[in-house]
Structure 1
Amino acid sequence: MPARLVIEDRQRQSAQARLPDRLPRWFMPLASVLCAVLAGALLTIAVCYDPPGYRVAGEVLVEEYNPDPSKIWERVDKPYDITWYGHDANYNYYCIANYSDKFYDFKRVATPLNEKILLGCAVLIIKVPTRPFSQEEIDCIVGFVERGGGLLLVGEHTDVYGTSTYLNPIAERFGFRFRYDCAFGIDSFFDQLYRRSLLPHPAVLHVEQLDFATSATIEPFGAGRAAILGAGLKNRMADYHVRNFYPQAIDSPEMRYGAFVQLWAARYGKGRVLAFSDSTIFSNFCTFEPGKAELWINMIEWLHRRNDWVVPRWAWFALGLAALTAAIVLAARQAESWFPLLCAALCGFGLSGPAILWWYHRTMPPPQSHSPLVRLVMDRTVSSAVLPKNGFIAGQEQGFGIFERWILRLGYFTARRKGLAVFGDSRQPSSRADVVVLIYPNQQPSQQYLESLQQYVDAGGKLLVIDSADNANSTANALLAPFGIQLRGMSQPAGLLEPDWNWPRVPVAHAREVSGGEPFARLGGIPVGTRARHGQGEVWVVGFGNRFCDVNMGFL
């Protein structure tokens, strides 16, 4: 009997050993490849995926008690209008706050924070404070996040005015701190261009690119993710011999080189935290340059969301490593080459990456405005007029930075766009251009662009074309031909403007005659400004554009 049991056991083991022999020859190689694909996908999810979550109700509060009243930095309450000019008017958050109010229930808090104030709050914004928070306020903020609130901390370079000193007691409770430094570009000190990565963090999902001014860097020591990791940078610590602690922009041995965190995302309890290190880019003078207002709204939108339950990253890693181990074991038993496994893992990455991106866009689309806003889009397709970078005015006759900026003083908003995006996306009503502005057009428009421009005006859009004799390579006539308007030279292109309405009679130069439409301004009796209705929209043409260049804006 024992001998029989031994024989049966050996036969059973022999049958199990021959099990792969009974399977089709292609089964084991296919299984190893599929496991490698799965491993690539799971490890990509572990590294890159951050669940956007669902939108919650609540207010967006911006804290303005801890900015010292004698040293308020980037205030939100004083309107940027036609009566207030100068340094403080431009280093001001009124415009971005006004813009935010079109999308969220946006309010200012000018009293010490407490649980009662934060009761109906979804997102709390703390920006460049200039005096310390009390321990009670810090505990209240931490408790707010732990219960599910969203917190945005906005810092600035070199601990200017003590901003990082006052932010860090809050930041350190969430596992990071602001360094007292400046981040510079490797090749050019003041050029730091961020471009969206292939798999961006949801907090920067709708930001294609933006120019940093000069940021601090963030030092994480707890859990979180770098939503913006600036590569190819160098930093220099604060210089306390100067008023704003800004060091000289020169290379020095103590500089560190490489990648630095400029936007940090963390989760704490049921809530979320974002830390951004360049407050300047949201100031009135540059916040509507490409990508900046989009970043502000995108950050608020991510903080305005919650997750009931999230699969921890270690679980995705564990599943990915298990799949990878299975792929390796199966391939080793078949003595297969490792190259197909590598290709399969890359295929898993290639499949999961677009799937993650699709899911982000589906679950976290750009927010739509809940109240009306007027947006003027500065075209960059056919116009290459000089517009500011980080707010720096060119001071040239081909520059129109002051003109663009002063549109904000009327309560309107601006954007710069290229291609058919100029006219907005029909799927996103908030992106529609109320006015398209063509300044000194000098590029030949494509037929598709011309057709889209005409359709835009016919549907009720407004077109403003600004030109002058200074625009030597003008293509304005090609753009205006469908509307029956033409510009041509004048024998006397300078003089005192003669407006039909109660506008100032200002001197103009380098003007062009405008024929067609209904004139609203003349020079020596010759029309230099006209308007025309076309379909449901309007076309306005200014032939004395030199009046609005950087050299002449603000002067009579």
Structure 2
Amino acid sequence: MFLIWLAVLFSSISWLYGLKIYTSPVPWLGWVLIGVAALLACFGLRPREHSNLDKKILYLIIPLLLSSAILPLPYRIGPGMMALAILLMLWPSSRPIGSGFLFVGAVLVMQSLIPGIYSIISARSPTVNGMTPFIFGLLRFLRVPVSYSQNTLFFRTMRELYEIQTTWAAIGLLPALLIVAGGVAAIFFYFENVWRKVVHLVVTVGIYVVVRYVFLLVFFVYVMYFVGYDEEASKTYIFWNPVSIGISFLPFAFIIHRFFHPREKPVSAVILENLSLGPRQRVAGVLLCTGAFLLTASFGFHDPGTLKKGRFVIDEKHSEWTVTTKRYDTKWYGSESGYNYYCMAEYLAHHYSLKRNLETITPEMLDSCDVLMVKVPTNSYSEEEIDAIVDFVERGGGLFLIGDHTNVFGSSVYLNPIASRFGFKFRYDCLFDIERVFEQVYTRPRVLPHPIIQRMPPFLFAVSCSIEPNSFFPGRVILAGGLKKLDIDYSVSNFYPQVVDRLGMWFGNFHQAIATRYGRGRVVGFTDSTVYSNFSAFYPGKPEFLLGAADWLNRENRFPWVNRLLLIISLCCFLLSAYILPRRNAKNFGFISFALVGAMFSASLAILLFGAINRSTYKLPTPVSELTGVVFEQGHCDYDLPLTGFTREPGQSYEIFFQWVLRLGYYPFAVPNIEESIERGDLVVLINPVSDFTAREIDALERFVSQGGRLLVADRVENGSDASRKLLERFDIFADKGLVADASPAYEPSSQISWDLGDAFELRGGKPLLFSERAVPVMTFADHGEGLVLALSFSDAFNDAGMGFTEGVLPDRRLLHHYHLQFAIIKGLIEGNPREALINADKL
């Protein structure tokens, strides 16, 4: 049975590569581990004789295949392998292979619930304080130099003093639970006295987890003795690296093999010989499947509520940071203009009625409000104001709380008296991606995402704090994995700690956004205020989260009791199923086979059904006033925006050009393809196209322009692709990259206004706007139907290197004149008068 335990171990570690639990997913390594596990199981389960196969097992293929089709990776692998295994077992010669695939598939199905359960436990209460004194005693017994105080262990080395609190992640709870789940499947395959063996397995795993944790602590201290004093190195990765986790659990396979002595012939052979179900077993199976469906529904159902009037109020009285009252325009520059919520507020005002509150919060003020936004407060709320807010929510109001990292400006101190009344609080910490510090990209779960984020693309955080809920079942909105947490540092002005790996830092899963119901109202807590500053608010994910939260909050609870009722009924179904099930005998293995597959299929149907219901019920609100969208297409173009991390090359980044669109009162969006660009944009921007447009895409762009759309094509001399030339020919504009001109300066002929734009190539046709000193046209536009196309051949003039390198720059006269060229191009296209806008550029 040693090979079987190795198969369980490899299957368990595969989840660490399939999901972002500690490090980024590496799917191919997960597949390799599953393949190795299947190979080990094939040898480990090879029967000594060919048993007869009950053909009723074929009934399981359809629900297995449907479950595999409904569930996303890696959850679909288990049912898919089980379906393949059943087909292989139809032929006696391939039955050993089928047995191995069936076992590993069953293990993966059993394990599929564990990552979700673990994330709930670890995010709610990461520490295991009750275990720390016991660990301290073991370390002292081993004569390890360690001290203990306030649930914290202290280790001193020549490098520094290390401190650590015992956490679920550090002790390896997740792989331990995965091994237990897989071990239960192994026990059912091999033993008849199942429940006693399961208890033995749990106890053995528990003891091993403690011993392993002590060993890792000793190993860490020992290794750090050999790290030089000046070296920037800390070996904390041994606690979260999948390789080190796998190696540290490898001895468990040897240990557990010594304690479990199976029969010669696996019970799995008996399972396949007789899959008949008695009447009581059938009823129990139906109850079990119903329970699985209802349990999934209790997490998947989101009360559609009753829509309110959409009267939003942003509280400015208590916040001197990220204000919404000062206009972001073409006159105000510097870092303070970027750390401003004006554009976010105006965007919200295009969808709802919006007011700014500058007075003390009172019940009378809240009577004319449906949703109150409290953002990064820098002043405290009085008890009367807090009571008014709580009463407002209880009567059906919505409350949007926005905090930030490390209690900056005292924001969490001022937020928590409010948040704690609704069952959570903002921690005084900051979160970072374990592998990519300052570049955490969150991708919504593929199984039953919260309605707030169900249409949200990947979301790049700046730096957030974490949220500590008071219950294990808060409204999970953003529960992210692969994070590490550093606590507040009071020795610096913004409380920001030095970003280095520390032995005592928590890692794993943390809440970064949470949604709760209170009375008839709703509350959303969000932890990264920076992302809604003007310089970040309209990159992918941010507008979708803002509108998703606004729509969810703009509803009054109608069926708040449904989730709890579904949960109670599901638990009753499970208990009743266990009660009526007859005592275990050989026939019960048929019940186990059908029940496992049936429960998984029922849960899959619930996921499919309630996902569809949530998408149809919760939709992003549409604008109620005119909103001008400037869309930057990504799929065909060669330029960078900070969508998944920082831009690295100023000459390749167009971050400032993107942000400056907001100064004109328009809204920039980055989209992946032409189809979405046309759908969302009034103006489509193509920068340095390198991939050829298909005939269908060119036709779509031509229809878009003919019907009144605007198109900006910006290219550069160094771009060797003909994509822009082929596209522009459809609009009678002809690019000649063989004729390169020095566009420093480039003139507007009627006014003699000039700009230094660097090298450019000739653009013939249309109505030229700018010429090089040798009269080579380098920017031109053409009317096409009801729309306009503008082409320019000096796109490098608008990259970050040409625009001042950073959005926080204070421009001099020359740079400001350069900005006005961008303003004239964008405004002229939108308003349909490019030449007039260019002549009056410095007045914009």
Give the Cα–Cα distance (whole angstroms) in 2 for the partners of residues 141 and 303 of structure 1: 14
Q: Kindly indicate whether residue 638 of structure 2 is the aligned counterpart of residue 384 of structure 1.
A: yes
- 1:340-394 deviation per Cα after TM superposition (whole angstroms, max 9, x unaligned): 2111111112111121121112112110101001100000110130123489565
Equivalent residue letter for 2:786: Q
Give the Cα–Cα distance (whole angstroms) in 2 for the partners of residues 349 and 502 of structure 1: 70
Identity percentage of aligned residues: 36
Query: Residue 296 of structure 2: which of 13, 26, 44 is its match?
Result: 44
Q: 1:250 is matched with which residue?
A: 500
- Following superposition, the deviation at residue 516 of structure 1 comes to 2.1
- Following superposition, the deviation at residue 485 of structure 1 comes to 2.0
Following superposition of structure 1 onto structure 2, how do residues 391-430 of structure 1 map, counting pairs within 5 Å?
Answer: 394=648, 396-425=650-679
- Following superposition, the deviation at residue 47 of structure 1 comes to 2.3
Contact 1:41 1:351 in 2 (8 A): yes
Q: 1:522 is matched with which residue?
A: 771
Equivalent residue letter for 1:43: L
Give the Cα–Cα distance (whole angstroms) in 2 for the partners of residues 443 and 52 of structure 1: 43
Distance 1:195 1:442, change over 3 A: same
Secondary structure of the residue that 1:99 maps to in structure 2?
helix
Equivalent residue letter for 2:522: R
Give the Cα–Cα distance (whole angstroms) in 1 for the partners of residues 578 and 799 of structure 2: 66
Contact 1:501 1:520 in 2 (8 A): no
Q: Kindly indicate whether residue 549 of structure 2 is the aligned counterpart of residue 299 of structure 1.
A: yes
Secondary structure of the residue that 1:203 maps to in structure 2?
coil
- 1:93-121 deviation per Cα after TM superposition (whole angstroms, max 9, x unaligned): 00000100000001100111001111110
Equivalent residue letter for 1:224: P
Equivalent residue letter for 2:653: G
Contact 1:422 1:436 in 2 (8 A): no
Secondary structure of the residue that 2:293 maps to in structure 1?
helix
Q: In terms of mean alpha carbon deviation, does 224-233 or 177-186 score higher?
A: 224-233
Give the Cα–Cα distance (whole angstroms) in 1 for the partners of residues 656 and 730 of structure 2: 30
Following superposition of structure 1 onto structure 2, how do residues 257-276 of structure 1 map, counting pairs within 5 Å?
Answer: 257-276=507-526
Secondary structure of the residue that 2:632 maps to in structure 1?
strand
Q: In terms of mean alpha carbon deviation, does 396-405 or 159-168 score higher?
A: 396-405
Q: 1:3 is matched with which residue?
A: none
Give the Cα–Cα distance (whole angstroms) in 2 for the partners of residues 458 and 34 of structure 1: 59
Equivalent residue letter for 2:629: R
Give the Cα–Cα distance (whole angstroms) in 1 for the partners of residues 390 and 681 of structure 2: 41
Give the Cα–Cα distance (whole angstroms) in 2 for the partners of residues 168 and 320 of structure 1: 35
Determine which structure has greater relative contact order: mean sequence separation of CA pairs < 8 Å that are 6+ residues apart, divided by chain length: 1
Secondary structure of the residue that 1:512 maps to in structure 2?
strand
Equivalent residue letter for 1:303: L
Equivalent residue letter for 1:360: N
Give the Cα–Cα distance (whole angstroms) in 2 for the partners of residues 315 and 145 of structure 1: 23
- Following superposition, the deviation at residue 38 of structure 1 comes to 2.2
- 1:414-436 deviation per Cα after TM superposition (whole angstroms, max 9, x unaligned): 101012443354xxxxxx31000
Q: 2:481 is matched with which residue?
A: 231
Query: Residue 533 of structure 1: which of 783, 787, 797 is its match?
Result: 783
Following superposition of structure 1 onto structure 2, how do residues 111-510 of structure 1 map, counting pairs within 5 Å?
Answer: 111-198=359-446, 199-222=448-471, 224-325=474-575, 327=577, 332=582, 335=588, 336-389=590-643, 394=648, 396-425=650-679, 432-473=680-721, 475-489=723-737, 490-500=739-749, 502=751, 504-510=753-759
Query: Residue 353 of structure 2: which of 81, 105, 114 is its match?
Result: 105
Corresponding residue pairs, total = 523
Contact 1:145 1:272 in 2 (8 A): yes
Distance 1:502 1:270, change over 3 A: farther
Q: 2:318 is matched with which residue?
A: 66
Give the Cα–Cα distance (whole angstroms) in 2 for the partners of residues 36 and 459 of structure 1: 57
Give the Cα–Cα distance (whole angstroms) in 2 for the partners of residues 31 and 525 of structure 1: 87
- 1:115-144 deviation per Cα after TM superposition (whole angstroms, max 9, x unaligned): 111111000000001111111111111111
Give the Cα–Cα distance (whole angstroms) in 2 for the partners of residues 375 and 391 of structure 1: 23
Secondary structure of the residue that 1:216 maps to in structure 2?
coil
Q: In terms of mean alpha carbon deviation, does 527-536 or 291-300 score higher?
A: 527-536
Secondary structure of the residue that 2:544 maps to in structure 1?
helix
- Following superposition, the deviation at residue 509 of structure 1 comes to 1.1
Give the Cα–Cα distance (whole angstroms) in 2 for the partners of residues 408 and 390 of structure 1: 21
Give the Cα–Cα distance (whole angstroms) in 1 for the partners of residues 677 and 539 of structure 2: 17
Give the Cα–Cα distance (whole angstroms) in 1 for the partners of residues 706 and 582 of structure 2: 67
- Following superposition, the deviation at residue 329 of structure 1 comes to 6.0
Secondary structure of the residue that 2:547 maps to in structure 1?
helix
Q: In terms of mean alpha carbon deviation, does 40-49 or 312-321 score higher?
A: 312-321
Q: 1:20 is matched with which residue?
A: none
- 1:202-229 deviation per Cα after TM superposition (whole angstroms, max 9, x unaligned): 1222212211110000011146222110
Structure number with the higher strand fraction is 1
Equivalent residue letter for 1:311: W
Equivalent residue letter for 1:551: A
Q: In terms of mean alpha carbon deviation, does 130-139 or 25-34 score higher?
A: 25-34
Distance 1:85 1:328, change over 3 A: same
- Following superposition, the deviation at residue 25 of structure 1 comes to 8.3
TM-score computed with the length of structure 1 as normaliser: 0.89
- Following superposition, the deviation at residue 51 of structure 1 comes to 1.5
Distance 1:154 1:25, change over 3 A: closer
Secondary structure of the residue that 1:295 maps to in structure 2?
helix
- Following superposition, the deviation at residue 447 of structure 1 comes to 3.7
Unaligned runs of 5+ in 2: 1-275, 805-814, 819-844
Secondary structure of the residue that 1:204 maps to in structure 2?
coil
Q: In terms of mean alpha carbon deviation, does 199-208 or 494-503 score higher?
A: 494-503
Q: In terms of mean alpha carbon deviation, does 208-217 or 510-519 score higher?
A: 510-519
Contact 1:213 1:390 in 2 (8 A): no
- 1:399-447 deviation per Cα after TM superposition (whole angstroms, max 9, x unaligned): 211111111000000101012443354xxxxxx3100000111122334
- Following superposition, the deviation at residue 54 of structure 1 comes to 2.5
- Following superposition, the deviation at residue 77 of structure 1 comes to 0.7
Q: In terms of mean alpha carbon deviation, does 273-282 or 317-326 score higher?
A: 317-326
Distance 1:247 1:204, change over 3 A: same
Q: 2:99 is matched with which residue?
A: none
Give the Cα–Cα distance (whole angstroms) in 1 for the partners of residues 409 and 459 of structure 2: 25
Give the Cα–Cα distance (whole angstroms) in 2 for the partners of residues 451 and 273 of structure 1: 46
Query: Residue 329 of structure 2: which of 81, 92, 112 is its match?
Result: 81
Contact 1:470 1:546 in 2 (8 A): no
Following superposition of structure 1 onto structure 2, how do residues 6-17 of structure 1 map, counting pairs within 5 Å?
Answer: none
Q: 2:138 is matched with which residue?
A: none
Give the Cα–Cα distance (whole angstroms) in 1 for the partners of residues 581 and 670 of structure 2: 54
Equivalent residue letter for 1:156: D
- Following superposition, the deviation at residue 237 of structure 1 comes to 0.4
Equivalent residue letter for 2:479: L
Secondary structure of the residue that 1:348 maps to in structure 2?
helix
Equivalent residue letter for 1:359: I
TM-score computed with the length of structure 2 as normaliser: 0.60
Give the Cα–Cα distance (whole angstroms) in 1 for the partners of residues 690 and 440 of structure 2: 28
Distance 1:464 1:136, change over 3 A: same
Distance 1:491 1:540, change over 3 A: closer
Secondary structure of the residue that 1:445 maps to in structure 2?
coil
- 1:59-96 deviation per Cα after TM superposition (whole angstroms, max 9, x unaligned): 100001112xxxx1100010110110011100000000
- 1:139-196 deviation per Cα after TM superposition (whole angstroms, max 9, x unaligned): 1111111111000100000001111111111111111111110001011111211111
- Following superposition, the deviation at residue 458 of structure 1 comes to 2.5
Q: 2:794 is matched with which residue?
A: 544
Equivalent residue letter for 2:757: V
Secondary structure of the residue that 2:325 maps to in structure 1?
coil
Secondary structure of the residue that 1:129 maps to in structure 2?
coil
Secondary structure of the residue that 2:735 maps to in structure 1?
strand
